[in-house]
Amino acid sequence: MLKQKITKCLFPAAGYGTRFLPATKAIPKEMLPVLTKPLLQYGVEEAISAGLDTMAIVTGRGKRAIEDHFDRSYELEHQIDGTSKENLMSEIRGIVNNCKFSYTRQVEMKGLGHAILTGETLIGDEPFAVILADDLCDNDSDEAVLTQMIKLYDKYRCSIVAVEEIPREDSSKYGVIAGDVIEDRILRVADMVEKPDPKDAPSNLAIIGRYILTPDIFEILKDTKAGKGGEIQITDALLTQAKAGNVIAYKFKGKRFDCGSVDGFVEATNYFYSKEK
């Protein structure tokens, strides 16, 4: 019997971030800030707002700043306590005090599927969420994307991918799904392809970096051969679940910025800046 409640969120955070060189030479790409907050902190806050309290982070070499960020910083805190700057640390302090963080390292970069499999040791035998921090999501009025998905999990009890409509010419940047509409905004996935040529794309619905996965995904990943780009793809493992009718796609409510690209990063920065004004 599957555990009922999802409490853990996996963050694959081992990638090199080559599109942001030289900024990412010594700084993890997940620590690049949109305004004053690192991308990964936005992801962690989204997970917390969805009711999750355990953050499982798959890191790699050169990523120690992530662990330092989600920890106490006694010297700094001592310096600013009682000053007007104290409030600048209140959010991150709250996170550190109220969440559990666990880490493991991906030693070789063999794709997103491999990164998720590396996280098995932190997740165990229970359903879990995955956030790709470079897909930054926001909502003006509705619940956060992950909150929307957790509610769906309570109903469907299977793996869930968040999708959005994209121009067909962008198909080769995403996992693309096809399926049958079973409810408003919800499809039962029948096919999925990692980064297809636009002419081979099964639809214009692209997966964005929010997933709910059931734990059988780990055994499937162990048997999943390298796919697109010679990497082990989560999309291929999910297709195995989808063939058994066990994956739904959810057209989420909200905005999503591709902060893995400079254009998307600038767009997100402008959006959050004008929202704060």
Report how far residue 158's alpha carbon sits from residue 160's, in angstroms, rounded to the nearest whole number.
Answer: 6
What φ, ψ does residue 127 adopt, rounded to 5°? -65, 150
Q: Which is nearer to ligand G1P, 92 or 212 (CB)?
A: 212
* Position 50, amino acid: A
Contacts of the segment 34-38: beta carbons below 8 A, 24+ positions apart:
34/136, 34/259, 34/265, 34/268, 34/269, 34/272, 35/269, 35/272, 35/273, 35/276, 36/88, 37/91, 38/69
For residue 201, give Cα distances in angstroms to 25, 51, 232, 250. 34, 35, 20, 18
Minimum CB separation of residue 251 from ligand G1P in Å reads 14
HSE (side-chain half, CA atoms, 13 Å) at 191: 10
* Binding residues among 147-186 for ligand G1P as defined by CB under 6 A: 174-175
* Binding residues among 244-273 for ligand G1P as defined by CB under 6 A: 260
Closest CA to 260 of 89, 39, 70, 79: 39
Segment contacting ligand G1P (CB under 6 A): 31-39, 207-215, 240-248, 264-272?
Answer: 207-215
Q: Which is nearer to ligand G1P, 39 or 92 (CB)?
A: 39
Segment contacting ligand G1P (CB under 6 A): 2-10, 58-66, 100-108, 205-213?
Answer: 205-213
Question: Which of 31, 44, 115, 208 is in the footprint of ligand G1P by CB under 6 A?
Answer: 208
Residues 6+ apart with CB under 8 A from 34: 42, 136, 259, 265, 268, 269, 272
Size of the site for ligand G1P (CB under 6 A): 13
Tell me: does residue 132 bind ligand G1P (CB under 6 A): yes
Instruction: Using CB positions, name the residue nearest to ligand G1P.
Output: 175
Minimum CB separation of residue 84 from ligand G1P in Å reads 38
The answer to whether 232 touches 117, Cβ cutoff 8 Å, is yes
Tell me: does residue 235 bind ligand G1P (CB under 6 A): yes
Tell me: does residue 133 bind ligand G1P (CB under 6 A): no
Residues 6+ apart with CB under 8 A from 36: 88
Question: Which of 92, 116, 122, 207 is in the footprint of ligand G1P by CB under 6 A?
Answer: 207
Minimum CB separation of residue 112 from ligand G1P in Å reads 5
Q: What angle do CA 14, 148, 156 make, to 5 degrees?
A: 95
Q: Which is nearer to ligand G1P, 50 or 234 (CB)?
A: 234
Tell me: does residue 194 bind ligand G1P (CB under 6 A): yes
For residue 268, give Cα distances in angstroms to 135, 164, 229, 272. 10, 17, 28, 6
Question: Which of 46, 120, 135, 236 is in the footprint of ligand G1P by CB under 6 A?
Answer: 135
Question: Which of 13, 112, 149, 193 is in the footprint of ligand G1P by CB under 6 A?
Answer: 112
Tell me: does residue 227 bind ligand G1P (CB under 6 A): no
Segment contacting ligand G1P (CB under 6 A): 64-72, 179-187, 203-211, 213-221?
Answer: 203-211
Sites of contact with ligand G1P (CB under 6 A): 112, 132, 135, 174-175, 194, 206-209, 233, 235, 260
